[in-house]
């Protein structure tokens, strides 16, 4: 039987639009983010969803609200799928971090085992997500799990599951309000969809020939 995991990144926040480190920082959705959540709910209306897991951070809970209303499924708050904690870099822009911690930022970018000062490293995030995945895969075998989470957890888990080198993941975007799908069938993992944002007005190709990313929000 096929087990399906649908990963939703929360809708836009002011922090994501301004490209700030907001891992543990509890920021709410922007007006556009709330619109994205409504579009997500409509997109998922006809999808069979057996289980909904939601990060405890408010931006994910707000994203999940219209989904639970439209699907009738109750969400479970799951701490394991929260975003990476960026320590002293929380609520700062990349430019601000680069100015104050240039060497630490360079080390963090190049090594999964190095955390931001006072924060969590990507390796620990990946291990946390792997633990959640293994438990969910066993418990919900043959069913569909919707996880409303963050860009970091989606990327970290996908890298571990698929054995993708970190440098290759630079080509894998996870936009706000996007949907990605990974299935498992007889132990074989497949990425069935990635960073799909067509439900929020980003068509595969518009009349001017612009593809994904023409209206991207960080």
Q: Give the position of tokens 């970018």.
A: 109
Instruction: Please give the radius of gyration of the chain, using alpha carbons only, rounded to the nearest integer.
Output: 17
Contact 13, 55 (CB under 8 A): no
Q: State the catalytic residues.
A: 10, 83
**Rounded to 5 degrees, what are φ and ψ at 145?**
-110, 125
- For the sheet with 179-185, list strands across it: 75-77, 51-54, 144-149, 2-9, 179-185, 188-196
For the beta carbon of residue 14, count every other beta carbon within 10 angstroms: 15
Residue 52's H or E segment, with its range, is strand 51-54
Q: Give the position of tokens 């498992």.
A: 184
Query: What's the distance, Cα to Cα, between the start and end of the chain in Å?
Result: 36
The token duo for 49 is 């969803």
């Amino acid at each position: 039987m096929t087990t399906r995991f649908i990963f939703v990144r929360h809708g836009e926040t002011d922090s994501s639009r301004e490209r700030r480190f907001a891992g543990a920082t509890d920021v709410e959705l922007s007006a556009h983010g709330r619109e994205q959540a409504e579009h997500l709910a409509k997109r998922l209306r006809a999808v069979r969803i057996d289980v909904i897991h939601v990060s405890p951070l408010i931006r994910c809970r707000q994203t999940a609200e219209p989904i639970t209303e439209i699907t009738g499924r109750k969400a479970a708050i799951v701490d394991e799928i929260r975003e990476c904690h960026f320590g002293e870099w929380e609520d700062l822009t990349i430019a601000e971090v680069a100015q104050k911690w240039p060497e630490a930022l360079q080390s963090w970018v190049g090594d999964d085992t190095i955390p931001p000062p006072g924060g969590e490293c990507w390796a620990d995030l990946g291990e946390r997500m792997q633990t959640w995945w293994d438990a969910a895969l066993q418990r919900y075998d043959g069913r569909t799990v919707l996880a409303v989470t963050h860009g970091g957890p989606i990327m970290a888990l996908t890298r571990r599951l698929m054995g993708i080198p970190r440098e290759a993941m630079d080509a894998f975007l996870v936009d706000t309000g996007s949907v990605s799908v990974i299935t498992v069938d007889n132990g074989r993992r497949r990425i069935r969809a990635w960073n799909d944002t067509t439900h929020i007005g980003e068509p595969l190709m518009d009349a001017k020939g612009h593809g994904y990313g023409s209206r991207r929000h960080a």
